Structure 1
Amino acid sequence: MSDRPDISPDDSGLAAEYVLGLLPEAEARAFRDRLEAEPALRAEVLGWERRFAAMAEAEVEPVAAPSGVEAQLMGRLFREEPERRGAGLWRWLAGLAVAALAAIAVLVYTGVPDRGAEPDFAARIAAEDETLVLAAALDMETGRLAVLREAGDVAEGRAQELWLIAGEAAPVSLGLLSTDAETEIVVPADLRPLFAGAVLAVSDEPPTGSPTGAPTGDVLATGTVSEV
């Protein structure tokens, strides 16, 4: 469940199911449309992506659950009641290894782990046909720009370069995107104030990036930066 006052429990559950790919196609399309217009919802999606990424990367040591916890947990997960929003998320959690039962119990009884500091700006960068989808979030204080790849790959022998376009100014390169799921870029202090209302774009470039300091290949995806 979200700790954001501007996100309802239902929307938080929707965001989690969207990140896990559990929404039916029609609901997923409607949710993507909302992401374009709702910065708070985009930030919630980023928060869930970070939580699940941390859970996937964590090394959970097998532990013995306290007496009675397993029975209580299974009773809460599978009790007979009408289908509720977020049930798909709990079904996914229930499929985790029994060795992580104690960790799951913490999630059930105390909520998800703290997501850490909220970003100041966020953007969803997507191709028109959704073949490339990225989520980006900027922390103004540190300049840390986290970019998560939700869909699409880098073409073999090519690179994807991220650009900041502020108003009518020429595009400024922020760096090359990793072929992995996550890229972290440190934005120089003089560029951070330009993010408000700017556009982030991804272009197809040679392996070492644009040789001219400007985009030279096709623009693969764009997204408007919004304040969180």
Structure 2
Amino acid sequence: MSGTASDPNDDVVLAGEYTLSLLPEDEAAAFEARLASEPELRRICAIWAEEFSGFADDVKPVTPPGDVLTRVEMRLFGESAREGRSLWQRFGLTGLAVAVLAVLLFVSSDFLDQGPVPPEAPTYTAEVAAEDRSLVIEAAYDAETAELYVERLTGEAEEGRSLELWLIAGENAPVSLGVLPEDERAVFTVTPELESALPGGLLAISDEPEGGSPTGAPTGAVLATGPITGA
């Protein structure tokens, strides 16, 4: 088998260039062929599209002076800017393309650390929400990996407190799935015993002392609940 795996950093930059229509036709066509079979690449493109969509929302169009790029380069790099600019021109890059390329290189590392990714075809899902929706958590379970993906859309723990996620099956006592981290996204591993309790079960979030319940059962107020349903 020949060929090498693509570098994630390269894919992030490539996806950004594709989203901005900066790729030559042949490279764009090759990239589109990969999109058809690579879900992760489609996810990166979607993130780029969302990032770029709001760039100019609050910016009023203004025509800058013709020498603004030259003056900025000279202020930043001095005389070396002249040589640098000719190098960019040698590659056929305009000032706009150079600026876009700089943005792509600067933020590409953020795309490699987006946190857990929700399953594309979850087995079960749930929306765990407070009545006033001051706290909303979306959950998706992937039976293939035995992982429960959760994303906190609104709300957070009070200072010095923690939010703990519980599984309630029928009349059984609540079982802790773990403490929600400060990050908005998290993944919890579900044991085979708990997996069998997911269908028809209920997810709940309680307010607990920092680090979680000290007793193994909810000790604080139940802030949000949501039924588990088949996807």
User: What do residues 40-88 of structure 1 show as CA deviations (whole Å, max 9, x unaligned)?
Assistant: xxxxxxxxxxxxxxxxxx8435644226x9xxxxxxxxxxxxxxxxxxx
Given the superposition, is the C-alpha separation of residues 155 and 122 from structure 1 closer, same or farther in structure 2, using an over 3 Å criterion? Answer: same
Please, which of 208, 214, 225 is the counterpart of residue 222 of structure 1?
225
Match of 1:13 in 2: none
Separation in structure 1 between the aligned mates of residue 224 and residue 50 of structure 2, nearest angstrom: 33
Once the two structures are TM-superposed, the CA of residue 207 in structure 1 deviates from its matched residue by: 1.1
Instruction: Quote the Cα distance in structure 2 between the aligned partners of 1:144 and 1:91.
Output: 27
Counterparts of 1:131 and 1:98, CA distance in 2: 38
The match for 1:202 is 205
Say yes or no: does 1:66 pair with 2:24: yes
| Amino acid in structure 1 at the alignment position of 2:222 | V
Deviations 1:171-217 (A, max 9, x none): 01111011111011001111101011111000011112111111000
Aligned length: 138
User: In structure 2, do the counterparts of structure 1 residues 60 and 145 end up closer, same or farther at CA, with 3 Å as the change threshold?
Assistant: same
CA distance in 2: counterparts of 1:219 and 1:225, whole angstroms: 17
The alpha carbon displacement at 1:92 in A equals 7.5
Give structure 1 stretches of 5+ with no counterpart.
1-57, 70-89, 102-114
Equivalent-residue separation in structure 2 for 1:145 and 1:225 (angstroms): 12
Q: Is the 8 A contact 2:166 2:175 kept in 1?
A: yes
Per the alignment, residue 34 of structure 1 pairs with none
Report the secondary structure of 1:191's partner residue: helix
Give the distance between the partners of 2:149 and 2:194, measured in 1 at CA: 15
Aligned partner of 1:127 among 127, 130, 140: 130
**Offset at residue 98 of structure 1 (A):** 5.2
Compare 58-67 and 199-208 and name the one that shifted more.
58-67
What does the per-residue CA deviation read over 1:1-31, in whole Å, with 9 as the maximum and x for residues that have no partner? xxxxxxxxxxxxxxxxxxxxxxxxxxxxxxx
The aligned counterpart of 2:192 is: 189
Aligned partner letter, 2:123? D
Structure 1 CA distance for aligned equivalents of residues 137 and 222 of structure 2: 14
Shift of 1:93: 5.4
Deviation at 1:94, TM superposition (A): 4.2
Q: What pairs up with 1:47-86 in 2 under 5 angstroms?
A: 59-60=12-13, 63=17, 64-66=22-24
Alignment of 1:102-117 (within 5 A): 117=120
